[in-house]
């Protein structure tokens, strides 16, 4: 039983504000993956995301009295813009509660529509709780971003358009999942008419609330979520969206940050459009699914759900895109510290393009070189590493080493051998004005900081590498200190990148 979602979608009021967006073939990407991949361009909506559909369909059905009192919503950006545009068209007051980590471009876009922005909390969930409280206090209607039948039906009109625009057989439709409203709506329409079409949700590895909920057959609340794909950074899916996904979704594909960055580049090369990370999620999922299943010559659809990208974040995306496409290998190579060894090393690389090379004298016998090289795929990278090893050059593959990619490549040559009892930890914290100082204050303790590296990646998480001198007899006290911090952290003291370049 789907609560008559087919009827709800067919009668949804969305086209007062929404476009019927094009379904476009991605020719270059399709040729590379040996399948026909069609992009549903929801990034072309007036607010650059699909969210306006569900928001308007919910709000247009409110009574005149409810519209007069106004609406309130919680949003990491895109839903807020949808509510703001709907309120503008309906001449209704709108208040949008947004977490401090929301990109400025999204806050400014909401305010430009005449809505009031209230910032609260470091995550969507904190903003949500405050918005619900605010709505009750001021008797405003709360417009839920996903767990509402009218919102779900509004998003479901995308499924109606896809089937109208693509008349041939579709093997699968890939949909990004945050709270689950988008995939619930599309699946409710598509599966009712063509149950053989696979509905595949895509989530980031570090924000997999729907995957965990389906696995445990209940709404699971994640303690933490990664914020890179901020549009889907939801700790808890909806009860109604979980019910629909249990019934209608075939599977969930999980992808990492590098894969998302590669997908952003893929879409840019085909369309010259720059998707936000959550907007490119479905393309990353489609590529992973095709590779896993060995698909060929199938027609596939991926939802480009949004393009509200902070310009500063492009630096991080461009750095990681080649890694996500597995077209760059990052390695630590040990070569003899003697004349001619560097030339020999370069000769072994042959005509391969070196994208990064870091070296500083540190030892009279051995030189440790941090190098990144363009490759066709991981198989070629493995072959290169094997070739270097056979030539007597010890090589460590750092391509999947987060500490190496985020920090060490910018610190190579910073050895300090006289430092005793050094522990290396990597931390993440919600990045917003004043966040680094707050983090530094939390680190103010009697242990000496021997290394510190922070770099703004244009992402929503601040990433810091810290060296701390902790005597052996104080390690238990240090562990207690770590557990009191309100931050993600990883012990990197045994990381080979640290040992080779910084230890």
Instruction: Work out the number of other CB atoms within 10 angstroms of the CB of residue 477.
Output: 13
Is residue 326 left, alpha or beta, with left meaning phi > 0 and alpha meaning psi from -120 to 50?
left
Of residues 250, 263, 258, 152, the one with CA closest to residue 210: 250
Q: How many residues in the chain?
A: 503
Which helix H or strand E contains 202, and what residues bound it? strand 198-204
Rounded to whole angstroms, how far apart are CA atoms 164 and 147? 26
Rounded to whole angstroms, how far apart are CA atoms 244 and 500? 51
Of residues 233, 274, 238, 239, the one with CA closest to residue 98: 233
Catalytic-residue membership of 353: no
What is the per-residue burial (b if ≥16 Cβ within 10 Å, else e) of 356-366?
eebbeebeeee
Instruction: Give the angle subtended at the CA of 281 by the CAs of 51 and 142, to the nearest 5°.
Output: 25
Q: Among the options 40, 49, 51, 235, which is catalytic?
A: 51
| DSSP class of 43 | G
Both tokens of residue 74? 């919680």
Rounded to whole angstroms, how far apart are CA atoms 238 and 128? 13
Rounded to whole angstroms, how far apart are CA atoms 216 and 436? 37
Catalytic-residue membership of 438: no
SS3 77: coil
Rounded to whole angstroms, how far apart are CA atoms 344 and 369? 13
Residue the block writes with tokens 């087919």: 6
Q: Among the options 123, 209, 259, 305, which is catalytic?
A: 305
Both tokens of residue 394? 């010890």
Q: Contact, 102 vs 431, CB < 8 A?
A: no
Of residues 459, 499, 485, the one with CA closest to residue 230: 459
Q: Long-range contacts: 21-24, Cβ < 8 Å, 24+?
A: 21/45, 21/158, 21/161, 22/165, 23/161, 23/162, 23/165, 23/166, 23/301, 24/271
Dump the DSSP string for 468-488: EE--GGGHHHHHHHHHHSSSE
| Cα dist from 186 to 6, 79, 120, 197, whole Å | 10, 17, 31, 11
Of residues 2, 301, 9, 4, the one with CA closest to residue 152: 9
Catalytic residues, by residue number, are 51, 305
């Amino acid at each position: 039983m789907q609560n008559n979602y087919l009827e709800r979608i067919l009668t949804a009021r969305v086209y007062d504000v929404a476009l019927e967006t094009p379904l476009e073939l991605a020719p270059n990407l399709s040729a590379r993956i040996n399948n026909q991949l069609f992009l549903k361009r929801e990034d072309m909506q007036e607010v650059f995301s699909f969210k306006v559909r569900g928001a308007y369909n919910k709000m247009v059905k409110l009574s005149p009295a409810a519209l007069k009192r106004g609406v309130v919503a919680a949003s990491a950006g895109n839903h807020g813009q949808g509510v703001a545009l709907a309120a503008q068209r309906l001449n209704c007051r709108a208040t949008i509660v947004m977490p401090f980590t929301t990109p400025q471009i999204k806050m400014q876009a909401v305010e430009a529509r005449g809505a009031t922005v209230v910032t609260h909390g470091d995550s969507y969930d904190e903003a949500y709780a405050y918005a619900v409280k605010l709505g009750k206090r001021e008797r405003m209607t709360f417009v839920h971003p996903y767990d509402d039948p009218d919102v779900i039906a509004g998003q479901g009109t995308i499924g109606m358009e896809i089937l109208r625009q693509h008349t041939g057989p579709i093997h699968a439709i890939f949909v990004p999942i945050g709270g689950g409203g988008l995939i619930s709506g599309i699946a409710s329409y598509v599966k009712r008419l063509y149950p053989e079409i696979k509905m595949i949700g895509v989530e980031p590895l570090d924000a997999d609330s729907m995957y965990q909920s389906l696995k445990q057959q209940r709404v699971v609340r994640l303690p933490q979520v990664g914020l890179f794909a901020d549009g889907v950074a939801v700790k808890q899916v909806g009860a109604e969206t979980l019910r629909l996904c249990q019934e209608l979704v075939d599977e969930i594909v999980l992808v990492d940050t590098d894969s998302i960055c590669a997908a952003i580049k893929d879409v840019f090369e085909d369309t010259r459009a720059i998707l936000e990370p959550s907007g490119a999620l479905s393309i990353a999922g489609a590529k992973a699914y095709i590779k896993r299943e060995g698909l060929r010559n199938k027609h596939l659809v991926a939802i480009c759900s949004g393009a509200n990208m902070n310009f500063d974040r492009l630096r991080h995306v461009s750095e990681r895109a080649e890694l996500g496409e597995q077209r760059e290998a990052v390695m630590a190579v040990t070569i003899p510290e003697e004349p001619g060894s560097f030339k020999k090393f370069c000769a072994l690389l042959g005509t391969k393009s070196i994208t990064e090379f870091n070296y500083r004298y540190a030892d009279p016998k051995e030189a440790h070189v941090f190098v990144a090289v363009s490759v066709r795929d991981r198989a070629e990278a493995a072959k290169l590493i094997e070739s270097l090893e056979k030539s007597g050059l010890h090589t460590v593959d750092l391509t999947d080493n987060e500490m190496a990619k985020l920090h060490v490549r910018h610190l190579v040559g910073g050895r300090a051998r006289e430092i005793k009892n050094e522990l290396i930890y990597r931390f993440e914290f919600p990045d917003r004005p004043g966040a680094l100082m707050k983090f530094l204050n939390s680190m103010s303790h009697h242990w000496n900081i021997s290394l510190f590296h922070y770099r703004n990646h244009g992402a929503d998480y601040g990433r810091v590498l810290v060296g701390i001198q902790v005597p052996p007899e104080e390690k238990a006290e240090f562990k207690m200190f770590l557990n009191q911090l309100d931050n993600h952290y990883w012990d990197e003291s045994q990381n080979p990148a640290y040992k080779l370049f910084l230890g």
